[in-house]
Amino acid sequence: MEGRRDDCGSIANCAVAVRIRGGRRRGEPRTTRTGHRRCCRARGGPDGHSGDVSIRVQHRTGHRPTPRRPVGGPLGDAVGAIARRAGIAVLYGCAELDGSAVYNTVRLVDPNGISLASHRKTHLFGEVDRQAVAPGSATAPVIGLGGWSLGLLICYEVEFPEMVRDLAVRGAEVICVPTANMPEYDAVQTVLLPARALENTVFVVYANYCGREGDLAYGGLSEAIDPDGSIRARAGRDPELLIVDVERRVLDDSRERFTYLADRRPDSLS
């Protein structure tokens, strides 16, 4: 997908702010998204200017969506250059054109600007999604970065317990979720995500769209959640940048107290 100049400018500005305010070490990721409403009018659509999340979270108001293009190309090159200049990893989402199909895709580039992984959204939200994008078919990836194992999901996918559990079983320690959730679904942030984090003893970093785009309002409340289900940081309804550290000590302590992963018996499940 080819981003507009102001898309990449927003990413670059946030990357610099994260670097300066967070004193970031190389290898720590942040997330952003480009392109949104032309592919989907409601939650779960190809994620646009929503929350830029850094792991040690920003959401922004939406802008006019960019055209759908193959992933890579000008946008991939531009984001890679931003990551390289700032010395941080960047997780970004877009509407990916592959042949005649459009996918809601998230990609991760490392601090050298090299693409590490991508994921196409597999679980679509209602007819709004299904009429606009094709479902991906590949398993969500787990990627090593900066001494952490990151799992990638997109929006609605995190609301399925099986998807988060699968990532945790495969070693994910931090689940990164770019999203476009609306205020009527605030229970996702306030109820569901803390449960996902606790039952899988993982950090959950959730970057949500905020503001209005046409007749749709997006709810913000981007957040970072600890593996014990407690809220480490949560933004409000307006654009905001959160700097949040994920700590190995917190993960280890949570997994010592809450032993769901160690005690599970998949052989007893039908």
**Is pLDDT larger for residue 45 or for residue 87?**
87
72: Cβ–Cβ under 8 A, 6 or more apart, which residues?
A: 115
What is the pLDDT at residue 165? 98
Closest of 1, 102, 53, 5 to residue 210, by C-alpha = 53
Note whether 84 and 16 are within 8 A (CB).
Answer: no
Each residue of 54-89: pLDDT tens digit?
Answer: 454 444 444 333 444 445 678 888 999 999 999 889
Domains detected in the chain: 52-264 (3.60.110.10)
* Phi, psi (deg, nearest 5) at residue 126: 65, -170
pLDDT digits (tens, 9 = 90+) for 101-124: 999 999 999 999 999 999 999 999
Whether 267 has a pLDDT exceeding 60, the answer reads yes
Residue 33 above 60 pLDDT? no
- Is the confidence at residue 166, as pLDDT, over 80? yes
For the residues 219-243, what does the mean pLDDT come to?
93
- The model's confidence at residue 20, banded by pLDDT at 50, 70 and 90, is confident
**Is 50 exceeded by the pLDDT of residue 90?**
yes
The pLDDT value given to residue 179: 93
**Burial profile 213-252: b = 16 or more Cβ within 10 angstroms, e = fewer:** beebbbbbbbbbbbbbbeebbbbeeebbbbbbebeeebbe
Q: In 10 A of CB 41, how many CB atoms?
A: 17
Residue 223 banded pLDDT, cuts 50, 70, 90: very high
Whole-number pLDDT of residue 22: 60
Q: Give the pLDDT band (50/70/90) at residue 214.
A: confident
Q: What is the CA radius of gyration of the chain?
A: 17
pLDDT digits (tens, 9 = 90+) for 204-213: 999 998 888 8
- The pLDDT assigned to 24 comes to 47
Q: What is the pLDDT of residue 142?
A: 98
